[in-house]
Structure formats: structure tokens, C-alpha cells
Structure 1
Amino acid sequence: MVNFWRDSLARWIGQHKVKVSSEQRPSREALLSVELDSSEVEPFLERAYKQLVPKLNIAGFRKGKAPRRIVEQMYGREYLANEALDFLLPEVTSKALEMESIEMAAFPSISLERLDPIKYTATVPLKPIVDLGDYASLRVPKERVRVSKGQIEDVLKRISNEIAPWEPVDGLPAYEDLLNLDVHGWVYNEEHGHDHDIINDKATDLVPREGSKVPVPGFSAELIKLKTGVETKFDIEVPSDFENSELAGLTAHFVATLHSVKRRIPAEIDDELAKGVGEGFENLDSLKLQIKNDLEAQESLNVDARHKEEAINQLLASATIEVSPIIIDHELDHYLEEFRDAMQSGRMTIEHYQRYLTWAGKSQEEIRNEARPAAEERVNRGLVLREFIEKESIEITDDELEGEIEKMALEAGSESKQVRAMFKELGSKDSLRRVMVERKAVDQIAELALTEGSAVTAKPKRARAKTTKPTNKVSKATKRTGK
């Protein structure tokens, strides 16, 4: 049926005088003007009628049997015209673009000027133009991987603190102590006319941390003022810009009774400490060596990621890109949709959380304006990578693709079968292939930018890459052995 209507449309376009004109715009857009008279809209109205009539209940006629003239009398011609727009606009626009030899890069923005007879304009985004410039001369120095004695000592102190037992202490508590207390906190909800609990626990364990905002800013600072065995009341004025809108600007009331305070007494950093870490080390020097190796492995990943990011940034800075604002708008819609999905699903990254704090209380227009630079950067980055991939003819072979799938399956452990099954679908393989091609392109750009002897100790000007922690023995070393 779809092919029938497309063929009919092609014959109809050829047989009728559809007024089509176009003009190029400097922002990589074409303005397409289309005008149809009443007789030319007729086939679409008939099609709309046939789609609508089975859904209509009209007195005196069986469902779906009312003649078109009766439908138009009851609902009006505009009712059918509005329904016809859903398929008329994309189909006529597609054919008009073909007539004008215009290749669109994304869905056009359509402005309806008149409904009957139909007249509209379509702003069509054209394929972006990307000039990478002299990318072969791109040079980005790479940092040397360095681990200081201070970094090793910091890890040793952390390990010493983490394996230390909690010991009871007298006097006032401090940040990072383990407090056992009764605590009740609430705010008065004027809208509902009653108190709303923030926290209400008996003999609960809490660790006050400096700068913590849980459950409200300043709560931890009040906890370290508590005296053992004394019921203490305190109020906290919650800032009006606090991220929890239900508490922002209100006065939080608390009653707390401290029962006990425990504190970690760090163990001595010596051979005995080393023997009790992870699976055990022969002495402190062997533990230090393992820490140094793990820190170097982590730092190597970070250095590589920063170098790749800086190479991409410099390639972006040297490229000339012409792209339609409509394409940016489409990416902006996608970017904000991703943010909303992350909020609703609870899968928020640090970036999402920072965006949430920044956008709280702002209008949709303000949010779109603030998010636009991020969407524009994503578009430009994708365009530059695709242009580089095309120029360098970067591809992923079937063997490379299957090898990556097998690697992912092995890393999935008990779920390896599900991973292999997922990639039996052609769409999933195509998606993974695109990711691998882009990854190979980034690696090639970084390699191109790296010259012999270019490793330096200075940090790059821009280092925005998100790095992933490697699996290393430092994390294992911080686990207690049950002592």
C-alpha cells in the first residue's frame, strides 16, 4: 500500500503543476517553497478520509461507512486537510527536493503559510562542509608518566586508615568519626499544613563529613558539636538554591542525642602493615613498589586520554565547519532528551548532576540556551571525526569486529552468551563497528599528533577527557584480610 501511494504521488507530481521554488542560504540551508491548489490536494484529502472514517461514529451509518461528504459536513474540510498534512508534507517535500536536486542532511523545518489550498515553506539543512585544513602538521606534545613519592605516601596513609579498626574516644566528635545517635529532623510544610520528616532514626551510625550537604548543608557541622548523653536541639536555614526543592528556603529543625563516638586510629606504616594488606606483601618496600606500578598504570591511561582529547581539540580548532542551525537544534533536542532520561532512570553521571544544579529553577528557553554550546560541540566533533575517517579511509574489518565481540563476551563472564546473542543482530554489529571506527580514528589522530621526543612534563591547556580506572592491585591492596 505504501509503494502504491508513492507511485501515485510520483505520477501525480508529474501530471500536475505543483509550484516549487528554492533558494540557497549562506548557513548551509535551502529554502523550499511549495504551493498546491485545491484540486491538487484532493488525492491527499481522499486518503485522509479513508484513514479516518473507520474510526468515526456517525449517527445513521455503520462505523466506517459514512460517505465523505457527510464527514466533511460534520467535521469540515479543514479536519481532513489537517489529517492529510501528516503524509502530504513529507511526501510532497521529498519529491520537491528531488525536483530541485537538493540533498537534505536532516529533517527540514516546515512552516505552513496556508491550509486550503496548501502553501508552505521548508527550511532544508544541507550536508555540512568540513575542511580539516593541514591536519598532517598537527602536533600535540604528550606528558611523561610520573608518580611522586608524595602520591605513594598518600596511598599508604589511606590504606593505613582504611584497615584501622574503630576505637571508642572521649570528648567532642570530629569529621570522619563514627557517631552513634538518635536524630530527628523535620521542616514545616506550609502547603500541606503539617511537619515533614527529613530524618528520624534511633541508635543510627553516621559519619559527619566536612562540606556534606546530606541531608541539608550544615548538618555535619552541627553533629561535631554534640556532647555525649545530652539531647541537643538546633535549627538550620536551608539555602534557597538547595538542589532539593522541597527543602530549599525552609528552616530545618533537629533534635539529636549522641550515644558514642569512635575514631579510626591509623596503623603504623611499616612491614607489619604491608603483611596485612590484600593477600599480604613481604615487606613495606614490596607494597610501595606495587603501589608505584599501579599508580603509573593509572596515570598512563590518564595521560593517553588527555593527549587524545587535546589532539581532537586542536583538530577541531583548526577545522572550518559550515553546518545548518537546524542540525544543531536536532542535536540539542537529543542532548536534553538524554538528560531527562538520565534523571528519570537515576543513571546520572557527575556531568548530569552538575547540569541539574545549574539548571534548577530556570525556564526551558534558558536551559536550551545554556545547553546549546555542548550540543554544537558534539555536532562539530562528530563532523570532524567523520571527515577524518573518510579522508583516511579508516575501516574495521569483520575479523576485528568479531574479535571485539569475543573480547566483550569474555569480559562479561557468566553473561557471555547474552553478549554474543545480542551481537547476532545486524544493527548491533553496525553500531559497534561505528564505535570502533571512531575509536580507531581518535587513536590515529593522537598518533599523528605525536612527534618523536615530544613527551613533556607540562600539562596540556585543555584536558577534558573522562578516564576510566584500570583494574589494578592498589584497589586489592586496600581490602582487609579479616584481621
Structure 2
Amino acid sequence: MYTLKITTEPLGNRQLLLTIQVDEERTQQAMRQVARRIAKEVRIPGFRKGKAPYDRIVQRYGEDTLRKEAADMLVQDVYREALEEEGIESYAAGVLDEVILNPLTFEFIVPLHPTVDLGDYRSFRLTYPRVEPRREEIRLALERMRQENAVLEPVERPAALHDVAVIDLVGRTDKGEVFFKDDNVHVLLDARNSYLAPGFAEAIVGMEVGEERTLVLTLPDDFPREDLRGEEAEFTVTLVELYERILPDLDDDLARTVGNFDSLAELRQHVEQQLRQAARERADREYTEQVLEAIIRRARIEYPPVMLEQELDEVVKEIEQAVKREERLSLDDYLRIRGRTMEELREELKPQAEVRLKRALVLSEVIRLEGLEVSEEEIGAHIEKIGALWKGQADEVRSSLNSDKGRQAVRSHLLAQKAVQRLVAIAKGDMEEAGSSKQEAEK
């Protein structure tokens, strides 16, 4: 029985340097197997195929050549044996970092499974914010309803702010290229409305119906055409129609107009309830995010680099699918048009992938420590819920989600949800109260 001389050295980041020296007798045996194969495949002068002696093969091809091929023959078996002998549980396949031919020695970088230490996460508390809509929010919501129900009255006077102007418009670059042309465009003359370019609305103020005016304005930095951003442009504007916006009074009539309300007081109460609900949902999202960020920040998380690369692959794949769906382009074409490389994209997305990976690892540890489970009934109910959202494609979606892979994805999703809910309950102190109630019941 041949023995392996094995040494290990932790490298940090959940990686291990595994050095394996192969017994010389085993190496020589492998080299002789290589020589026999060569003798059968290659005609050696003075010998029939398969009859050339070992020494003649070594003389013709060199010992290093035989050692290299013997190394290729042994490497996988030797690596597997070393893992078993040392009891090493690798996260993924090790990377062969170096080969020394004499004595035959392999050096592998072995990625290990991640570790997550959440510390005393059950002692973490975070005060939930008080949620009440402010009077100003209610006032602004009612004012928006007035604005949305304004009546447009045609007027014969110079245009003023807050009017609605109907214009014919042609936009040209400083070289005379027409980059925009449209007729009967409705524009609200509001100083905050930077239609096409900042200052556009104010520049129309004072025009009369039938008048033509030329405007020179600077296009904004977020203009759709990248080559025109920050450039000066000339706009030829003809005022076709002009309307004054007549706002309704804030009264019972407005309440009846905007919905099934008998009075302004009833409408105000409805608005307040909606704002409170929206504020609560927003507070829930923000609170949940704060809890997760705090738990992740307090945790000690280590993972091998290959794990981050795998998560990065998933993020890039999602970007690729989005580009194909929204831009009708391959990711390679999309990047080429924007003068970027895949390496630059991956580097840009790396922080996002790292956040996702840490979150997934923390939630997996919460699931393990809290003993969270998902029943087959819960999985089935979730699949039905998702399928119902797709209406015409419901059967196709249900079929996909009911596959082994689909059900596993649903299980993982629901477990992650439960882990988040458990952390939120802990942060609020609800788990402590639940524990106290249980203890009282047991007494």
C-alpha cells in the first residue's frame, strides 16, 4: 500500500494549501505504465510496437516527460485520497497550483465551506419607528387631487406660469441636425417642469397664440441621447393653443368627484388611512433592511473566493437576461455599444454580489439555528398564488414551479422569508414575549 506525505496550511478566506508528495515507488509504477502506452502507440527504431524496453523509452523521451504524464495520470486519484485521509470537506474542486516532478508533489488550493458566527443575535433589539402621517402630507395629497381635477379653460392672453400650452416644436443641434420634432405637444408651464431642457417652460411665458419663438437652451446631463448631453440646442416653438388651469375648491363637491365620498371630511379620513398604510409598509421595509444590515454587520462571515465568483456569475446572468428582455441585445453587444468590458462589469457588480452572498449565508445560518421548516402544503399554496398572477400562463408557471428544481427554489424562498421574519420578531422583542407566554402556559 502506497502512502502519501500530506501537509496542510490555512491560507485565510476559507482556503487551504494542500501539499501532497507521492511515494516514489508509485510514481515509478505510473511512469512505467506511461512508457508501455508510448511503446504501443509509437514505433521506436529497432523494436516492434509495444516491445521497446523502459530504459529505451526514457532515453528517447526523457524522464521529465514520463514524470509529467505520470503526474497527469495520478493527480485526480491522489487529490481524492488526500481529502479522504485528512477528512477535508471541500466546498468545490481544488485548484492545482503547482506540480513538482521529483519527488512528485502536488500543491492544491482547496476552497472550504463558509463559516458564519452570528454571535448573540437573539439579544439584538431595534426600536420600531412610530408611524403617523403628518398634516403636511395630508394637505399635499388633497392638493394633488385638486391639481388632477383642474378644468382647462382656453384663454386669449400671453402665456403665464401654471398655464397649459399646446405647441409645435422642432429641436436642432448647434450643427442644424433635427433631433426632435412633434406637433400639438401639451406642456405645463411650471418652473419645476424641465421638459426637454431646464428653463424650457419659463422661456414660453409671454408668448401669444400663433407666435413663433426660437429658444437656445442647454440639454441636461440625463438627456436620452448621450452625445447631446450638456450641449446647446435650438428649439423653434409655435404656440398653437393656451389654457388656464382652474382648480376646484377643496370641498364636498371635490370629494364626490374623486370617489365615493359624501363629504370632504370623509375624503380626508380616507387619505389619512391610505397615507398611514403606505407609511407603515415603507417603515416595515426600512426596519427589516436595518435589522438585516445590523445582524450581518455583527456577524463573522468567511467564505472562499470561488463562492463570491459563483454569486457574481448569477448577478451577471440576471443582468444578461434583463438586457435581452428590455434592450433586445446580447450582453456582449450591449457592453460593446457602451465601450465597456465584461471584466469592468464584473468589477462594478462585485459589491452587489458580496452583499447578496453575505445575506444568503446569514439567513441560512438563522434557518439552521432556529430550526425553521417549510411544509409541502406551504410550497403548494405559494405555487398556486404565483400561478394565479400569470393568468393566461398560469398552467405553464405552475408546471415549472412544481418540478423538483422549481419546488426547491420555492422552498428556499419561503425559508429565507421565514428567517427574515424571525429576525424582525427578535429585534422587536416579540420572540421574548412569545417565549415568556409559552413558559407561563407550561407552568
Q: Fold conserved (TM > 0.5)?
A: yes
Letter paired with 1:200: K
| Structure 2 counterpart of 1:181, one-letter code | I
Does 1:310 pair with 2:296? Answer: no
**Contact 2:159–2:204 (Cα < 8 Å) also in 1:** no
Map of 1:439 onto structure 2: 417
Matching residue of 1:172 = 159
The 8 Å contact of residues 127 and 323 in structure 1, kept in 2 or not, is answered as yes
Q: Distance in 2 between matches of 1:202 and 1:241?
A: 23
Aligned counterpart for 2:130 among listed residues 144, 161, 174: 144
Q: Letter of the aligned partner of 2:400 in structure 1?
A: M
- Distance in 1 between the 2:207 and 2:389 partners? 49
Paired residue type of 2:159: L
3-state SS, counterpart of residue 140 of structure 1: coil
Q: Name the SS of the counterpart of 2:13 in structure 1.
A: coil
| In the alignment, structure 1 residue 372 sits paired with structure 2 residue 350 | yes
Q: Is the 8 A contact 1:332 1:368 kept in 2?
A: yes
Deviations 1:30-73 (A, max 9, x none): 23568999969979x99xxxxxxxxxxxxxxxxxxxxxxxxxxx
Question: Which position in structure 1 is the counterpart of 2:116?
Answer: 130
Q: Which residue of 2 aligns with 1:421?
A: 399
Q: 1:256 to 1:300 in 2, by over 3 A?
A: same
Aligned pair in 2 of structure 1 residues 433, 22: CA closer, same or farther (>3 Å)? same
* CA–CA distance in structure 1, aligned partners of residues 299 and 314 of structure 2: 24
Give matches, 1:30-179, under 5 Å. Answer: 30-32=16-18, 101-106=87-92, 123-169=109-155, 170-174=157-161, 177-179=163-165
Match of 1:255 in 2: 236
* Alpha-carbon spacing, 1:309–1:107, altered in 2? closer, same or farther (3 Å): farther
Deviation at 1:419, TM superposition (A): 4.0
Structure 2 CA distance for aligned equivalents of residues 108 and 402 of structure 1: 39
Contact kept, 8 Å, 1:140 with 1:311, in 2: the verdict is yes
Inter-partner Cα distance in structure 2 for 1:198 and 1:35: 71
The one-letter code sitting in structure 1 at the alignment partner of 2:424 is A
RMSD: 4.4
Residues 126 and 414 of structure 1, relative CA distance in 2, 3 Å threshold: same
Change over 3 Å in CA distance of 1:269–1:253 after alignment to 2: same
- Output the CA distance in 2 between the equivalents of 1:174 and 1:346: 37
**The 10-residue stretch of structure 1 (23-32 or 126-135) with the greater mean CA deviation from structure 2:** 23-32
Q: Which runs of no fewer than 5 residues in structure 1 stay unpaired?
A: 1-13, 47-80, 190-194, 348-355, 455-483
Deviations 1:385-426 (A, max 9, x none): 110101111111111222222333445556544443333322
SS class of match (1:143): coil
Corresponding residue of 1:335: 315
Unpaired stretches in structure 2, ≥5 consecutive residues? 39-67, 328-333, 433-443
Q: Identity of paired residues, percent? A: 28
* 8 Å contact from structure 1 (residues 173, 261) kept in 2: no
Q: 1:239 to 1:154 in 2, by over 3 A?
A: closer
Q: CA deviation at 1:450?
A: 0.8
Q: Quickly say closer, same or farther: Cα 1:334–1:300, change in 2 above 3 A.
A: same
For residues 124-181 of structure 1, the C-alpha deviation after alignment (integer angstroms, 9 at most, x for no partner) is 3321111000011010111122123322222211112112232334322436x53311
Check conservation: 2:94, 2:111, Cα contact below 8 A.
yes
Match of 1:390 among 361, 368, 371: 368
For 2:306, give the aligned amino acid. Answer: I
Distance in 2 between residues matched to 1:258 and 1:152, nearest whole Å: 36
1:236-275 deviation per Cα after TM superposition (whole angstroms, max 9, x unaligned):
3446786632323543332221212334322111111111
Q: Which amino acid aligns with 1:310?
A: Q
Query: Which whole-Å CA distance do the structure 1 matches of 2:33 and 2:271 have between them?
Result: 76
Whole-angstrom CA distance in 2 between matches of 1:218 and 1:91: 74
- CA distance change for structure 1 residues 423 and 339 in 2, over 3 Å: closer, same or farther? closer
Query: Which structure would you say has the larger RCO, counting Cα contacts within 8 Å and 6 or more residues apart?
Result: 1
Cα distance in 2 for partners of 1:307, 1:202 equals 48
Instruction: Check the 8 A contact 1:187/1:251 in 2, yes or no.
Output: yes
- Kindly provide the amino acid, as one letter, of the partner of residue 316 in structure 1: I
SS at match of 1:276: helix
- Structure 2 residue 186 is the aligned partner of structure 1 residue 205: yes
Larger Rg: 2
CA gap of 1:346–1:416, structure 2 versus 1, over 3 A, is closer
Residue 246 of structure 1 aligns to a residue whose secondary structure is helix
One of 203, 210, 217 as aligned partner of 1:236: 217
Note closer, same or farther for the CA distance 1:305–1:249 as it changes in structure 2 (3 Å cut). Answer: closer
Secondary structure at the aligned position of 2:258 is classed as: coil
Q: Secondary structure of the equivalent of 1:184? A: strand
Indicate conservation of the 8 Å contact 1:198/1:215, yes or no.
Answer: no
Give the CA deviation at 1:375. Answer: 2.2
Q: Which amino acid aligns with 2:238?
A: T
In the alignment, the residues of structure 2 paired with residue 124 and residue 166 of structure 1 have an alpha-carbon distance, to the nearest angstrom, of 73
Distance 1:423 1:261, change over 3 A: same
Q: Work out the CA distance in 1 between the residues paired with 2:350 and 2:79.
A: 28
**C-alpha distance after superposition, 1:338-391 (max 9, x if no partner):** 3354344338xxxxxxxx9xxx88776665555433322211111111101011
TM-score, L = length of structure 2: 0.70
Q: Which residue of 2 aligns with 1:323?
A: 303
Paired with 1:315 and 1:133, the residues of 2 have a C-alpha distance of 9
- Please name the residue that 1:270 is paired with: 251
Partner of 1:10: none
1:98 Cα shift? 5.3
1:30·1:126 contact (CA, 8 Å) conserved in 2?
A: yes
CA offset at residue 120 of structure 1?
8.2
Report the residue type matching 2:126 in the other structure.
V
